Amino acid sequence: MKNVLFVASECVPFIKTGGLADVIGSLPKYIDKKKYDVRVILPKYLCLPEKYSSQMKYVTHYYTDFCWRNQYVGILEMEYEGIHFYFIDSEFYFGGPWPYHNMYEDIEKFAFFSRQVLSCLPLIGFRPDIIHCHDWQSGLVPVYLNDSFQGDMFFMGIKTIMTIHNLKFQGTWDVSTIKNMTGLSDYYFTPDKLECYGNGNLLKGGLVYADAITTVSETYAQEIQQPFFGEGLDGLMRAKAGQLRGILNGIDYKIYDPETDPALTRKYNTTTAIEGKRANKIALQKELHLKEDGDVFMIGIISRLTSQKGLDLIRHVIDEILTDDVQLVVLGTGEKQYEDLFNWHASQKPDRVSSNIYYSEELSHRIYAACDLFLMPSLFEPCGLSQLMSLRYGTLPLVRETGGLKDTVTDFQNGSNTGNGFSFANYNAHEMLFRLQFAKNLYYRHREQFNEMVIRAMECDYSWDASAKKYEELYASLTPEEKPKAKKKASEKK
């Protein structure tokens, strides 16, 4: 059996700010336990829910010199849903009300975290064959492993994987500051290592020193080798193309299951989907004070309200979208311009637009179950999870063909019995609007075809099972089993 350690800054159910937490909370559960002992290590933030922190057991503690200070480091552990979790405790670094603050402080915080991940391993009795690092917050793990830990026999032969969840976030600051924070020598701050356009770059360090690189969809793995999507690292991505592969994220089908979901008014499956979704639509309309009409075309948006999510396209044609035969339900927070946009339209059309500028997991499930169309016209999307959730609940996604959206949504065409949603290629508001109007027309005039698509969407399998097998193949390629040496024949011994 091989040992794998996941290193990340967040994980469901302990702490979540984005899709990274969902991945770390789900993927380890799907890795074959007969082949791999997968464990996870996280910061012990002060803001973790007490119901989890109270279950943690003390393992050990020590003191370390870091950034000119002698720091206490505690190690705690607990098991959750069959997975072993470790938590690095430092009130100095992890004592704030939220896991992230400003980049200057976060770089020091996660440099400390990365170093302690390695420092604590000999003390907790777990030697990983592979350390699987996620995003820039763990980018220094492969660097430190190559540096001060390399002379220790305990660490010899440990392989590292760097997974990019969103290349836009890299952990950059000026070289001098990062050098002083990390304790790394001048050797590491050259253009072929951590230096990047005059700054230090923690993610780049992890990518340079990792034994393998993954990202969260096949299309995004190709896109980040191009300047537009490469965020300044496209040259490195092309140079590392032989070590780079895209493995699509999944979702936990036990959590997102319309047949058992406790958040829904009426549970349903592929046999009862049409009646079930109609009942959930009417219940949601009542909850959000919209006009109750089980046959109206309902569009859902569940998103961070940022320009990356294509909301400027929606803003450009929102009057054309909000015709009398459409309802719109929005859930999420973000940039004020978009919050104000949806709030204004909700105030003007309270029976047809519901703007919910907050986040509720339970409400998100009810929106997935009630809507007919899920609008996700992202400028770029490494993988995307919302479209996978909408498919699971039979709400047809309308997406732009980028990243994981392109890999998971197949556009419906007239005369075909294929397609699980609608898509458009160019980042263009009217191209999006054309596909939206096509979908609405299909709903109102060809409901049988639309309903067939609903069933096809629900029959798609984007659970973690297939993706986990691809990660297992990657792990196996990095740690091949040693073949037993053949015994010498008696004649060869003479």
Q: Are residues 326 and 217 in the same domain?
A: no
| pLDDT, position 481 | 77
Check whether residue 118 and residue 220 sit in a common domain: yes
Mark whether 281 and 242 lie in a shared domain.
Answer: no
Q: Which of 246, 265, 282 is the last residue of a domain?
A: 246
173/313 same-domain check: no
* Conformation bin of residue 257: beta by default, left when phi > 0, alpha when psi is -120 to 50: beta
What residues make up the domain containing 95?
A: 2-246
Same domain, 287 and 198: no
Residues 329, 451: one domain? yes
Q: Is the same domain home to 99 and 162?
A: yes
Residue 54 placed within a domain: yes
Q: Could you give the CA distance from residue 203 to residue 435 in angstroms, rounded to a whole number? A: 37
Q: At what angle do helices 273-288 and 447-459 cross, to 10 degrees?
A: 100
Q: 10-residue block means of pLDDT along the chain (494 residues)?
A: 97 92 95 97 96 97 93 98 97 93 94 98 97 98 95 94 97 96 96 97 98 98 97 98 97 94 98 98 98 98 96 98 97 97 98 96 97 98 96 98 98 87 98 98 97 97 94 96 58 48
| CATH number of the domain residue 325 falls in | 3.40.50.2000
Predicted local distance difference test score (pLDDT) of residue 48: 96
Residue 409 and residue 315 in one domain: yes
373-379-381-382 Cα dihedral, nearest 10 degrees: 160
Residue 87 within any structural domain of the chain = yes
Write the CB contacts of 218 (distance below 8 Å, at least 6 apart in sequence): 245, 246, 247, 248, 407
- Is 204 found in the same domain as 78? yes
Predicted local distance difference test score (pLDDT) of residue 63: 97
**197 and 88: one domain?**
yes
Domain stop point among 246, 263, 290: 246
Measured CA to CA in angstroms, residue 176 lies from 169, 198, 200, 205 at distances of 20, 10, 8, 15
264 within domain boundaries: no
What is residue 462's predicted lDDT score, i.e. its pLDDT? Answer: 95
Residue 265 lies in a domain: no
Indicate whether 227 and 318 sit together in one domain.
no
- Asked if residue 399 lies in contact with residue 405, where contact means CB atoms within 8 angstroms, the answer is yes
Interacting residues of 143 by C-beta distance below 8 A, sequence separation 6+: 114, 184, 188, 194, 205, 206, 208, 209
Asked whether the beta carbons of 94 and 43 are under 8 A apart, the reply is yes
**Residue 482: per-residue pLDDT:** 64
Is there a domain that residue 477 lies in? no
The answer to whether position 259 is within a domain reads no
Q: Which residue has the tokens 């040992």?
A: 3
Question: Are both 317 and 181 inside the same structural domain?
Answer: no
| Number of separate domains in the chain | 2
Instruction: Identify the DSSP state of 305.
Output: B
- Determine, yes or no, domain membership for 475: no
What's the one-letter identity of residue 158? I
Residue 61 near residue 123 (C-beta atoms within 8 A): no
Nearest alpha carbon to residue 294 among 284, 307, 308 = 284
